[in-house]
A and B are shown apart, each in its own frame.
Chain A
Amino acid sequence: MVSSSPLVNRPATVVRAVAVEKSYGARERRVAALRGLDLAVSAGEFVAIMGRSGCGKTTLLNLLGAMDQPDRGEIWLEGRNLPQLSEEELTRLRRQRVGFVFQFFNLLPTLTVRENVELPLLLQGETSAIRARVDEVLVAVDLHDRAADTPAQLSGGQMQRVALARALVHRPVLLIADEPTGNLDSISAEQVLTLLKELPARHGAAVVMATHSSEAARFADRVLHMKDGQWTNEAGKP
């Protein structure tokens, strides 16, 4: 059953946002992207965030994924308050605990499928058992036979599966997916969403996905709706 509450207190909360505010632009043109938003996501949970373009979905994902800092409020990832961390600590946290999947795949065209997937491990300085872990994740996304290909040789759906493999290879606790099916046909989208639901859950990772598609949202455990930087289906405080 799909819940609609942003704050469901469960024992193993992976990420928690408390009264988060974020604005963009200069003083007179300042636009509030998030207005005191709360959210808690547990291990193994799949949360979908829906809303119109510009409502603040991506801003929230970037904050949760330690890519950006809020103006006010707290974001706790595995017990660490992100606004209090240095740039270097945020980078390390992101490198080790977070995975990203983008709408435009964002694979590095210069690298092969295998090299793209290896990248997070290589950035961590991880050098042992890389091949085995990459093989494992490529098998999981059913692209083991395309490991030597470059992204240019793949279809959109295949590219997104590679992106998913890349996001999961270092076994993050949180997977951020920003419109992962926005560029895919319905069959490819379903394949990707199925994988998105199944693979992270295997090792207890939480997934936060922004989407316009109610079809995609159906795969989530919880669906939250956002408008003008606030939840529209708010159901409680942390």
Chain B
Amino acid sequence: MSAREWSVAWKTLVARPSRNERGRTALAIVAVALAIAVVVAIRMANRTALESFEQTSRAVAGRGALTVHGPTPISSTLFPRLRWLGAYAEAEPYIDRYAYDPRAHDTLELLGLDWAAEVAHHLPLNRNLIAPGSRQQRRAAVLLTSYYAQRYHYRRGDWLPLVLNGRLVRLWIAGVLPQSKLATAQSGHIALMDVAAEAHLLGQVRGAPLRFDGLQLRLAPGVSEPWLASQVQPFLPADDHVEPAAVRRRQTEKMVSAFAANLRALSYVALLVGAFLIYNTIAMGVVRRRTAIATLRALGASRRAILAVFLAEALLLSVIGGLAGLALGRLLAGLALHLVSMTLNALYTVTHPKAVRFTAGDLVWALILAVGVGLISAWGPAREAARVAPAEGMRPGLYETQFAVAKHRWLWLGLACALLAAVCAKLPAIGTVPFWGFASALMAVLGMGLLLPFAVSHLLRLGRSRLLDPASAAAGRNRWWPLRLSLGLAAASLLSALRRTSVLLAALTTAVAMFIAVAIMVGSFRVTVSTWLGETLRADVFLRARDWTRSNNAPLPREVLRQLERLPGVGAAGEYSAVPETYRGQRIFISTAWSRDLESGRRNVRLAGEASGPMHRGCPLRFLRSAGDWNIWRRGSRRGEVFVSEPFARHFDRWPGRQIQLPTQAGPQKLRIAAVFRDYSSSQGYVFMNLALFEKLYGKPLASSAGLYARPGMTVERLLAQVTQVLASMPGERQALTVNDYQSLWREALKVFDQTFRVTWSLELIALAVAILGVANTLLAVALERRRELAVLLFLGATRRQTRRMLLGEAVWIGALALLFGTLLGVVLAAILIFVINVQSFGWTIQVHAPWTWLLPACLLVFAATLIAALGPAGVAAQVDPVAAVRVE
């Protein structure tokens, strides 16, 4: 293939025709750009969120090469035994807690380190450090990042109010940290104080040995990590261990990996839809230019030149679309990051990701993705173009009917894909990533795409013959005849271009199906969570520390609870505690709950005269497969068994009857699982045990949340007023605690739930937008391509309104068929999402509740959008010049 040959082919087949189809080319580019933008935005948001974890982890606990930690805090009594370490590493204890700033209404990571070393490291010239003040000030001295100080107008010497461990404390801002790795961790939401001071703030008794979260070891030059780890380990208590800091970072990554993988997979839906559209754009170009291709071939152009030209067209579309998508993705990434971090904060741990960063890697990756998808999508039609036989291509009037659609072969392939989808759905997850679940969904989508030509051709044929049947029209007394005629001709038109119709339908069907699937999944999940909340949240008033987060189970001040329990309106109280633990390298929580009848003082008893509910009956859990929660709970508790949450059981494959080994204060303990309970509060595992067992293994628990039950005759409103009044008399506690009644807590939980799915909805809506752009693009091509046929209809006496209606009729068919097949596929995808992907990613069983009441109007909206997308092309169809159109072959 010579350059000249290529240049002639390019000019004839792409450059010149594109001039007359600028609108269509622009639509195709916008569709590709949107698809790439979505993927880029999610990639950037995911990466930034993960980088935030990593950066924080590095800055906080991972600056040393090794960390020492255990199931319980590291005691300072360990230090004398590790004195020999000085020759090989610098050991620094740390405490890491989240605190709530009631003035700024923001969370802050309060990091306790060696104050003198940190000041010397960060503020060597002490320029930003004011002179130490009083003894009280020195004990509460904190370094704040310049970002945080500027954002919330704090200055050196100010007092910083913080809710720490459920109590309001005041810290003295001794200085402002300049820009450094530490200062940029958590996007500046970090404060640094002396580790001993923080230990005392957390309630540790002065003079007693201090307890730390861990010890970081900074290795001297030339010291090997594995060697030092092996040397240190024998000096540690049985359950403590030393490991590379990266292991802990990976733990966080692992924790959010399923969430990130699901988001990535959803973002690729838009790309899949985009791929269908690139395929269609090139395929339509091939059909429309078949005469030119045949002529060029007859004049001596090689197959390779034709192939190269169409691939080059796809490449150009992809590169322009990819670059535009990159720019758009950069803009969308900010929004995506906000939504992603909101979900991570709600479900996993506190994160303050910094602004998204655009890297050269993003550019290269977006281009590779766009070009890869473009070339793969265009390969089929381009190869078909190269195979156009000159004689056949130049035969007039045959249009796309020349391209035989091997719909029966596709049917079998489609059925094979459906079978593969079923097989993949049965395979287990790889780690926590439901790889086979995604493969199953992809196979289902491909299967439907391959089945579409067969199914659509039958339906369109049926529609055409019924609608254009004069006999049945006569029976209808002609009333709807114009409409029937338009729809019948539209069916015939779609049928004649079955491949194009099928591909367009595959794109729209995929987008509609994902929308429906996500709607069913989220709707089902919402109802399930709502029901579960109703079953498990039975107290009337709830209390929690303001600095409570998923990863920071801050305790409630005990004396405040006791004071509230003495209120005349309180009949009973329940408390709940959870402590973080590591099980098989993953973070889990050990939890317990107890309730108390305040009149009798008895624990975990059925409270007479109270409303029914598991908590009131002494059983705080709802079990997965049971009829009689109370008996399971009582029997298991008596035997000293534990209860595990469904995510725990699924992730670790630990079910009733099996044993788990947990690190405890008394060393590793093997415990038998009595039952599995439903838990939708977190995808991290929970091991639940009764109070007696918990106290035996982990000591006296500190309640991280509490519920108060109104006495008979006392309304919730009055009880809430009593609680609020008591807290108002304690200004510190008022700021440190949140108080909710059942209704507001329920609403808040569902609000958080809705927030976590905003990003999912956004992705689905963008995929739908891409597909609808595809409808506009394809129908515009139809209008341009079928000018001659439309002209003939005008010659035969059709009105322009009828030709316009015919194009709209095609949109009606496309919309209706996409909704039909999209609903079928959507139900299948919903089943895969609910029973495979969701279970494997998060370990939740969801009861299916399809939200048809709003899904139906949403589907009608999609249908309306399809029709609106057809208005432009229909206008083009109505403006056909019949005289000119019929003369040109």
Known: A104-B889, A106-B886. A118 touches B470 (CB 8 A): yes
User: 1/0 contact trace for B780-816 toward A, CB 8 Å?
Assistant: 0000000011011111111110100000000000000
Instruction: Answer whether residue B398 sits at the interface, using C-beta atoms and an 8 A cutoff.
Output: yes
The stretch that binds A, out of B41-49, B150-158, B378-386, B492-500, is: B492-500
- What B residues does A96 contact at CB under 8 A? 797
Instruction: Answer whether residue B485 sits at the interface, using C-beta atoms and an 8 A cutoff.
Output: yes
Known: A94-B795, A108-B492, A110-B495. A127 touches B473 (CB 8 A): yes
CB distance from B789 to the nearest CB of A (A): 5
Decide: A68 and B883 in contact? CB cutoff 8 A.
Answer: yes
Instruction: Answer whether residue B401 sits at the interface, using C-beta atoms and an 8 A cutoff.
Output: yes
Decide: A100 and B398 in contact? CB cutoff 8 A.
Answer: no
CB distance from A229 to the nearest CB of B (A): 16
Q: Which interface residue of A104, A107, A110, A121 has the most chain B CB atoms within 10 A?
A: A110
Decide: B396 and A127 in contact? CB cutoff 8 A.
Answer: no
CB distance from B498 to the nearest CB of A (A): 10
Instruction: Answer whether residue A146 sits at the interface, using C-beta atoms and an 8 A cutoff.
Output: no
- What B residues does A126 contact at CB under 8 A? 470
Of A98, A102, A119, the residue contacting B886 (CB under 8 A) is: A102
Decide: B470 and A120 in contact? CB cutoff 8 A.
Answer: no
Residues of B472-501 at the interface with A, using a CB-CB cut-off of 8 Å, are: 473-474, 478, 481-482, 485, 489, 492-493, 495-496
CB distance from B791 to the nearest CB of A (A): 8
Instruction: Answer whether residue A109 sits at the interface, using C-beta atoms and an 8 A cutoff.
Output: yes
Of B481, B883, B887, the residue contacting A125 (CB under 8 A) is: B481
User: 1/0 contact trace for B386-414 toward A, CB 8 Å?
Assistant: 00000000001111011000000000000
- Which of chain A's residues has its CB closest to B791's CB? A106
Instruction: Answer whether residue B102 sits at the interface, using C-beta atoms and an 8 A cutoff.
Output: no
Instruction: Answer whether residue A105 sits at the interface, using C-beta atoms and an 8 A cutoff.
Output: yes
Q: Which 10 A-B pairs have the closest CB atoms?
A: A95-B797, A110-B496, A130-B470, A127-B474, A110-B492, A127-B473, A106-B792, A127-B470, A100-B795, A91-B799
A172 to B887, CA, bound (A): 22
- Which of chain B's residues has its CB closest to A95's CB? B797
Instruction: Answer whether residue B468 sits at the interface, using C-beta atoms and an 8 A cutoff.
Output: yes
Instruction: Answer whether residue A166 sits at the interface, using C-beta atoms and an 8 A cutoff.
Output: yes
Instruction: Answer whether residue B471 sits at the interface, using C-beta atoms and an 8 A cutoff.
Output: yes
Decide: A123 and B798 in contact? CB cutoff 8 A.
Answer: yes
Instruction: Answer whether residue B882 sits at the interface, using C-beta atoms and an 8 A cutoff.
Output: yes
A107 to B882, CA, bound (A): 14
A194 to B647, CA, bound (A): 84
Decide: A109 and B792 in contact? CB cutoff 8 A.
Answer: no
Residues of B550-579 at the interface with A, using a CB-CB cut-off of 8 Å, are: none
- Which of chain B's residues has its CB closest to A98's CB? B797
- What B residues does A8 contact at CB under 8 A? none
Q: Which interface residue of B397, B788, B789, B796 has the most chain A CB atoms within 10 A?
A: B796
CB distance from B90 to the nearest CB of A (A): 81
CB distance from A1 to the nearest CB of B (A): 33
Instruction: Answer whether residue A214 sits at the interface, using C-beta atoms and an 8 A cutoff.
Output: no
- Which of chain A's residues has its CB closest to B792's CB? A106
User: 1/0 contact trace for B183-210 toward A, CB 8 Å?
Assistant: 0000000000000000000000000000
Decide: B889 and A100 in contact? CB cutoff 8 A.
Answer: no
Decide: B792 and A108 in contact? CB cutoff 8 A.
Answer: yes
Decide: B485 and A123 in contact? CB cutoff 8 A.
Answer: yes
Decide: A100 and B796 in contact? CB cutoff 8 A.
Answer: yes
Q: Which interface residue of B397, B471, B473, B788 has the most chain A CB atoms within 10 A?
A: B397
Of B396, B399, B797, the residue contacting A120 (CB under 8 A) is: B797
Known: A107-B397, A120-B796, A125-B478. A67 touches B882 (CB 8 A): yes
A120 to B796, CA, bound (A): 6
Decide: A124 and B797 in contact? CB cutoff 8 A.
Answer: yes
Decide: A150 and B401 in contact? CB cutoff 8 A.
Answer: yes
A33 to B602, CA, bound (A): 108
Decide: A106 and B797 in contact? CB cutoff 8 A.
Answer: no
A122 to B474, CA, bound (A): 11
- What A residues does B788 contact at CB under 8 A? 106
A99 to B496, CA, bound (A): 25
CB distance from A74 to the nearest CB of B (A): 20
Of B401, B489, B800, the residue contacting A109 (CB under 8 A) is: B401
Known: A115-B492, A122-B468, A127-B470. A92 touches B795 (CB 8 A): no
Decide: B474 and A152 in contact? CB cutoff 8 A.
Answer: no
Residues of B868-889 at the interface with A, using a CB-CB cut-off of 8 Å, are: 882-883, 886-887, 889
CB distance from A38 to the nearest CB of B (A): 22
- Which of chain A's residues has its CB closest to B399's CB? A109
9 contacts between A and B (CB under 8 A): A67-B882, A88-B799, A91-B794, A91-B798, A104-B397, A105-B397, A108-B492, A110-B492, A159-B397
- What A residues does B789 contact at CB under 8 A? 106, 108-110
- What A residues does B481 contact at CB under 8 A? 125, 127
Known: A109-B496, A127-B478, A127-B481. A166 touches B468 (CB 8 A): no
A120 to B794, CA, bound (A): 10
